Structure 1
Amino acid sequence: MVCQRQPLCGLRPFGHWRTQTFIAGLRCHGLTAPWIVDAPLNSRIFETWIDTQLAPTLSPGDVVILDNVGFHKSEKAEQLVRATDAWLLFLPPHSPDLNPHRNGVLKAQGALTKASRQKLRCDNPCARRYHRSLLCH
């Protein structure tokens, strides 16, 4: 069989493959302050999210639990949270079992992966042969 180069059709988020970050707060009753950023997360973006999205949803006495990634330890972010009379609590280093949002993230990633595979079209037999990990119709 002679394989000709043909594009492999599939879904791409927002039409590109750049990094996108979804950030949200997790409460007992669900997500709060969801936000999608078309860039990897850093201190400036995190502080903007706290200021514009999370802080307006906080009530006095709320606890914001964070892991130990460097930009979570921003002084500005701490000031923004404390200005709402909420407070910060950092998880111990390397504590995936205490990080409840991780399970939610894994479930969401699994659902998105499953949905994208179901909609993927593999018309090219060469693509099917070399991309066995993809679910092809």
Structure 2
Amino acid sequence: MLDGPINGQAFVAWVEQFLAPELRAGGIVVMDNLSVHKVAGVSAAIEGAGAALRYLPPCSPAARISTRLSRCLPS
């Protein structure tokens, strides 16, 4: 457990130790554009497990639930 913000080194360790062992060949991991998601080692660990890594577009209103909900709610 970390107390405070995560850094790239800690995130890579988490991906290697916890996420990658749970992945299946052909799986897809989707991440946002947080800088720690793009440090060296993240994609290698995921792809080494046989999964693909995809990033959300920098501005993805369709992925934001608040945007979708606001369309359904009265003004």
Please confirm whether the aligned pair reaches a TM-score higher than 0.5, indicating the same fold. Answer: yes
5+ long unaligned stretches in structure 2: 66-75
- The RMSD of aligned alpha carbons is 2.0
Q: Counterpart of 1:69?
A: 34
Greater relative contact order structure (CA < 8 Å, 6+ sep): 2
The aligned counterpart of 1:86 is 51
TM-score, normalisation: structure 1: 0.44
**% identical equivalent positions:** 34
Q: Normalising by the residue count of structure 2, what TM-score does the alignment of the two structures yield?
A: 0.76
1:90, distance to aligned residue in structure 2 (A): 0.3
Unpaired stretches in structure 1, ≥5 consecutive residues: 1-35, 101-137
Whether the 8 Å contact between 1:67 and 1:99 is mirrored in structure 2 is: no
Summarize the alignment of residues 47-126 of structure 1 with structure 2, pairs less than 5 Å apart: 47-95=12-60, 97-98=62-63
Aligned to 1:18: none
Greater fraction strand: 1
Pairwise CA distance, 1:79? 0.4
1:9 — aligned with what? none
Q: Distance in 2 between matches of 1:65 and 1:99?
A: 14
How has the CA–CA distance of structure 1 residues 97 and 42 changed in structure 2, closer, same or farther, with 3 Å as cutoff?
A: farther
- Bigger radius of gyration, 1 or 2? 1
Q: Give the length in aligned residue pairs.
A: 66
Structure richer in helix, relative to its length: 2
Report how far residue 87 of structure 1 moved.
0.7
What one-letter code is carried by the residue in structure 2 that aligns with 1:47?
A: V
Q: SS at 1:37's partner residue?
A: coil
Runs of 4+ in 1 over 3 A off after TM superposition: none
